[in-house]
Amino acid sequence: DYIHPLTRAWLQACQQAGLPYNPDFNSGSQAGCGLYQITSKSGRRSSAATAFIKPARKRPNLDVRTGATVTRILIEKGRAVGVEYLSLGRRFVVRAEREVIVSAGAIATPKLLMLSGIGPADALAGHGVNVIADLPGVGQDLQDHIEISLIYQLNGPHSYDKYKKLHWKAAAGLNYLLFGGGPASSNLIEGGAFWWGNKDEALPDVQFFMVVGAGIEEGVEAVPGGNGCTVNLGQIRPRSRGEVTLVSANPADNPRVAPRYFSDHADLEAVTDGTMAALDIMEKPAMTRYVSARHVPLAAMKSRDQIRQFCLQTAHAALHPAGTCRMGQDEGAVVDPRLRVRGVDRLRIADASIMPTLISGNPNAVCIMIGERAADFIKAAA
């Protein structure tokens, strides 16, 4: 896959700042800077749907239904027997021969369980939901990575921003069509690093992403002149915990999501330290040759107190929610080590909600692994 020259320059700046080059973040030693491993094939992003569902579409035992909203899990005599869903305004029921597997994510999965009577009994009863299994951990322990974006104005067309212009866009498209590579095959976040915010931690607790462009993410502004780059960073082992709760028994109502970012002050301090480190990297010679100005935060912001306040005001979710139906063997756990929901037979969960602790990095590959592990358990039980 294509690696932009500015990514390589940023990695050089990291090494000038004292971060070692790490050729493999998954080697068992995460510290340092390097290129990210991504799920791609032939220059295109390979999602779980592309890699797993598409090759199996012709199998007689697979039926994919889109435009459908599952409203509850059907439970009879303590056993999951199917699901109810709505499609085009009509109600449908699908019966399960063996098991029901929920894989709706850390927000929708606890919502579905609670609508089905699985969750904290008092809260469910308060919404008029018939309690099937009193599991107080459903919806609790919500965890997410929190991120900061630093934006820089460049002194020339040194980033992917230049491909916003039609002739450069056409050149990139032609390169991809003819050779299957070039800028159009990039994932835009090619390089990054893992390092310490809290020096007392045994392992790195801050992750950095070099984004070779400015204003390419929703809500992140462009820069004067149109050519820029962004450094994203996030605290990857958050101590703060939130929750997902019902607002009513109506499946059409979104749940109440209270992430409670920075409710543990240590998270804010780690992000502040990480931001100070990122600012230092961007001051190294390998990057200053390309940078004309710091756009966000303002160049006048230099002290730790100013940067802490900047982080508090501008931090945004990494959208890696996890933990709301966590695995374990204690009373607060929702699923056991084989991903079976406690108190309900023939019901499993296979998504990020089962993580007891959010992983120290991007969760995409781990979510795929959870699905593969669940498949092993299901086959073993058959």
Choosing from 4, 145, 158, 320, the catalytic residue is 320
The residue behind tokens 């609508």 is 115
Q: 18 burial class (0-12, 13-18, 19+ CB within 10 angstroms)?
A: exposed
320 is catalytic: yes
Q: Give the C-alpha separation, 82 to 71, whole Å.
A: 11
Residues noted as catalytic = 320
